[in-house]
Structure 1
Amino acid sequence: MAPPPVSTSSDIWDFPLTLFERFPTLIWRADTDTKCSYFNQTWLEFTGRSLEQEIGDGWTLGIHAEDFDRCVGTYLEHFAVRTPFEMEYRLQRHDGEYRWIIDTGRPIYDQSGEFAGYIGSCLDITDRRNTEAQLRERETRMSTLLASMGEGVIMRDAHGVLLMHNAAAAEILGLSEEEMRNWDMHNGLITYLTEGEEPADIEQIPAMQALATGRPQAGTLGIDRKDGTRRWLWTNSVPLFEEDSDTPRAVVTTLADITARRDSEEQLRLAWTVFRNSVEAIIVTDARQCILSVNRAFTEVTGYSAEEAIGSTPRLLKSGIHEHNFYEAMWRDINTHGFWQGEVHDRRKDGTFYPSALSISVVRDKAERITHYVAVFSDITERKASEARIAFLAQHDALTGLPNRALLHDRLEQALASAARHGKRIALLFLDLDRFKTINDSLGHMMGDQLLQGVALRLTGCIRETDTVSRQGGDEFLIVLTGMDTPDDAARAAEKILDRLRQPFDIDSQQLGTSFSIGIALYPEDGTTVESLMKNADTAMYHAKESGRNTYRFFDERMNVNALERLHLENGLRRALENNEFTLYYQPQVDLESGRIIGMEALLRWFSESMGSISPARFIPLAEECGLIVPIGKWVLQTACRQARSWQDQGFPAVPVAVNLSALQFRRADIVATVATALADSGLAGTWLELELTESLLMQSGPDVEATLGHLKALGVRLSIDDFGTGYSSLAYLKRFPVDRLKIDQSFVRDIAEDPDDAAIVRAIIQLGRSLRLEVIAEGTETPEQMDFLRDERCTAAQGYLFSPPLPAEAVTELLRWGRLPAAPLLAG
């Protein structure tokens, strides 16, 4: 029984199209073959693409790569069972930005209840997701901040009832979490004290005063905790108001335990008799900051005698380095908290400056009136120098002074971020000193260290200020080159380094010659992270060592091919035509219904006199790179046509022979004239020649490709799409170009018996071909199970090792003479 219809075609499409065209949402429709056939104007304006570009599977080009598998999988999964779906994914907008959308799809049925496809609508939810993420982040930050604060934080409502607190507040008050939850200001768990250590009324507490007055209240508060200990707190209470209301709705109080500081101040009053023997300089002033006393350390640090300092103010040490705001903030803390601590720059009597670690404390009498200020400071020049040295050594190599691995990692990360923003290339050079161990073992480590220092100096002179040289340890160095336009820039830098390092080093009256093996990795080609670039540059460096040392190699395999080997292979390829080293093998194509041989695919093989059999995967890309594919392709066409005519002349049933065409043949050669000449010279009728084209060739060969294919069809030749499904797989070019056959790529055929996804793809291609009245042939058929699946799905034909491997022309002739294939019994069964 058919599922209850969600909507019907007539429900949807009886509305004027203009209604959908200007909907604020993105509207799409898919037909029963899963291909999208309609997008409203809102969708097209969002993506900036035309309807022709979007229909079919074209819309999937805008899906973010990280969301692609999930999105398309969800779509196909629901399409298979015809159930509604809703999914979120990123879709590229016309300006290149990826936006989060929520896509809702519903199956539709026609008036007779037959499934008619899907209709869907999409909303841009990027701003909503960003807002939700910001709110979650803000909430997390606030919770983390409160939890990590050393100060206690308490919030009470207008009646003094506790609303929230952090862990520090419970610790300061000496209450457990359970007690905090049940805490009432009147329950006696805590006794409040005034600054004069007298019991305080609830109304005297700053928090209650802030609620009563509507103004912030700050001050010192004493508490006797339930554990019997006394604590002194600095509290700051701020009232919170509703909008358009003068009445506080709550109050937030921060608590800082200043008990230890008050004890320190008491200790200070008792320590006057011993301060003169302190190793730190001490100044005691009166409440007006007039110096009353200094100790011996003060004279040693500042150069002023006690007689010169007493009666003056601490301003005689003022360096003029700090601005007025610095001193204002310092005295604000002193007057508020009674204490300040930090670093200042002062000046000695001789006018020299020095950094000082300074602390200033207020001394009060029992009435809490300020009586004195006590400043304790020390010259921290040596400490600062040590810290600077430690900081330098933490990021630099102790021997050469170059950035170490940690600093290089940081700089390379920054360079990668900058390169990503500006679309620039970065080169990472991994350098290893050749035979450095021999120098160390024979001349000693001291000589080796001096050599490394000399190498570091020369390397630094080879680069720009924006680049970085780093020593990784031992005899390994890394260089980050920024702003590279082409790989050749990195190559020139490597050549410059090798040239500079070629000159011998004069060390202890000895001349030491050395060289480097250099590996080069490029961003973004060879990696987009620090780790991947370092790993790949290291790999390239070992290739350089294997190539004889004192050279450089790129990690990119195309750049890393040994020059002599490449030259040897290319020269051999150029002589192969002259030496008749090429031959064609042919693989039969079989009709799955009758078992008849209905075609042959011509496959190029190279048997070199000097190098033996060369794999097509090795020499064909090289032939395309150096342009030799054009004359080679011409030879393949002529040879295949002559062989097909020869089989016909021998009386065998005529079958087409298929030849693969390279995109380079389309761009650099008059392919129509080449094919016409091959047919004319061989006497083969065009109907018996099939040209196999790739999807990428059809999509990228330029606007004149349609005319070229039309001219080829005029010669009578057949056209097929090779490796169908691995490229664009767009229905648009199938409709536009005069294609006769689709060839299913063997990567899909290989697992059709086990992988439901591959089976679904193959089934869809077969149905697509049948719908478009195209023949469909499956490549790579190797098992009876694969053949049974293809035959059950009404696939036209197949080729593969199940029927026959590629064979030389003589063997195929015998096969034709025999009149049947080894797999014929399977087909018959």
Structure 2
Amino acid sequence: MQQDATNILDDLGNVAVYVISREDHRILYYNRRVERVSPQVRVGMICHQVWPEGCQNCPLHTIGDAETSTSISSGDAFGEVVDISATKTVWEDGTPAYIITVAPHQFTEIEQQAILDRELLMRGILQIYDSVVSVDLSQDSYTFLSQYRGPGKQPFGRTGTYSELIGGVADRLEEPERQAYLSAFMPAAARQVWQNTAKDPYLQHRWRDALEEEPRWYETWLVRVQDPFGQRQLAVLLSRCIQQQKEDEQRLQEALEIDNQNLRGVCGKYIVRDQNVYLLQGSDRYFQLLDTSPSDYRDGIFPGMDPRQRRRYICMMVEKSALHEPISLEFARQKKDGSTQWLQVQFIYTGQRGNAPLYYGILVDITARKMLEKEHHELFEQLPVGVAKLLLDRDLSLLEANRAYLDILGCEMADMIDGALAWVHPDDRDQVQREVEAARGGAPLDMEMRVRRRDGTVVWVQVQGRPAGELDGVPVTQVVVREKTDRHRMRQELEDLRARYRQVIEGGECRPTLYDGATGQFIKPPEQQPGSLSGSVVFDYDLKEDQLTFSEPFLAYFGGEQRVFTKARRLLAHTRLIHPDDRAALRAVLEYCRRERGPVRCYLRFHTLARGMQRFSVSISSLWDQSGSRVLGLVGKIVHDVEQPAEESSPRRDALTGLYDRQALVRQVETYLRFGQQKLGLILVDIDDFSGVNAELGHVAGDALLRNIAGRLRRSVDGHDIVARSGGDQFALLLKGLDGREDLEERLQQVLAKLYQPFSAPHAARGLKMSIGVCCAPDEAATCRQLLARAEEAVQRAKKLGGGRCVLYGEM
């Protein structure tokens, strides 16, 4: 029966079978397949002496108490990939034994797919690398998988001894690259690298092909590959030309050196290896800037830095260098003299040395900038208004805030952990969330709201903000916060006063003071002036906000599209709605209301939508705070004056020049001296020998000269000042709102510059001259009569000195 079994085993074809003793692993039997593969085999030999390379994959290592065990082996003598099975049995004469079978491996679908994936990957690698070599370090063998040019170029499919291949390539390299090549890629060296660093050996080196005059740069990389069917040490040796990359790196380095000179920085060359960064090369300026010497860099860069901070920066650089990313740092270090130095460093990847990345770095001393930033931060903390950076997320997370911001909320930064929204009054949160949603779209932030302080009190604040970038994709805004509690209290008081005064005005119960435009005086009328709410326009002037608001009839009377006007002071000074000759009266009334209590009435001409210029009665009352010391605003009404007087009270005009006449000038001067709070300057301009002009050139030329001078004077002043013809050959300028002597002299120079511009023919031939006198009020004259008389004295003094000059009364 045993003979029958052996006959069957001999006929198994490509399945090798042998029987070994369990006790000493001596061969008891082998079939013809074993004899064909290993002719030296004999009964009685120990199996691992016949096939020592297969011992590492022997199934006997794992059979233990089991009856059978199977393992997979690749590169075996019996086939590329085989299944080895061991089964316990009893052989002839009862000897305990193992039946060992070695059969071609039957690949599963998963294994077949893995083989296909490897094939596709290899095809991709062949498109990238000039030379691809399959290496078996266990057998010290190789197989060429590509037939492109490169170091060790061989025909496709060529096999041989791997260490001889590496030695042959190294022989064609120059030192020190030859030794570096051998140290990286010889079998023993590669195993040592894998054991110590778990990294694949890599080297950049120059190689000269037999057909090339100059060597070219190549990179070679030995990539470890896991053996899926055994314990062989497999790898792929890759090589490709990087000459273009090296040339690009050289151009980049030259450009960086130019940038370095422009930045007034210093440069250094660095290498990243052994989890550290070392300085390879630095200029004299490099060591001078850092107050160091080359010996300070034995343990790596950043000498003088806090050890923990240095370790953190080194780890970050090592991580980024693996991806060849640029690196930017700002850090502080302690100099040898104890001072702190701030540096900014820009590292740019420039290539490899072995498998270690090389970087070119530019260092710039930014200590002065950091000191300025520190000063700005201190100023930021000392600002009287709250300033903060808010993240426009769901909670309005607080990123940064100065002391004033925290004082407004009565809290500390630690209290803001839930975000700024938690401090908003519940009744205002919906409004705040709508404003924040608009700000996320880029709109500026501008709102007033209530916040609840830590002590429970509620305060009003105004928040204004503008975009300040993003953080992790969420918009950031910088806000300025001002407390407005007192303002809101005043606003409520003002509203109460307005309501009370409107009742008084609309009820007709007030007896207002009347402004007489003809005399420029304020008088009490003998009885209440007629007026009716019907057809009237009520207005409200907020002096603090400089905002003027009219009631609905304003649009029907005067047209336009708005009833609320900001910058009201400027509007009242320049508006075309009021007759130009009546603006001075309006200013006088407004100044009076700021000083005195009680309603005031005046008559002004307004340009109406339907009937042109019409006269209206304007009643104004001032609103005072509870203490009676401050005016908060003005309220009043405008009523159409149905009975227009036969003689208007408007200032009179000179027929020839269109300027105010002397009577109108006197009225304006008296009004401003009586009710105004401004300093005035009166300039009288007298044409020397004007009678000679009329006699020599005729009265037509004389009239033309008067109109010419009138135009020059009108253009020399702004709309607030008054220009008049005070006599036959004399003009007057009333300058308002002087700030002092320097302001008077500056505005006087503007007038003289206009007057002394060259005249055209025929007046140019006569050499016209003018005598000018100047007097100020109230410093040099308390009344209108004094002001006119003393300015005239200055004119006469100029004439006595020969004419054609300007005399100031204060310098006589």
Q: Return the structure number with greater helix share.
A: 1
TM-score between the two structures when normalised by the length of structure 2: 0.22
Q: Which has the larger radius of gyration?
A: 2
Greater strand proportion: 2
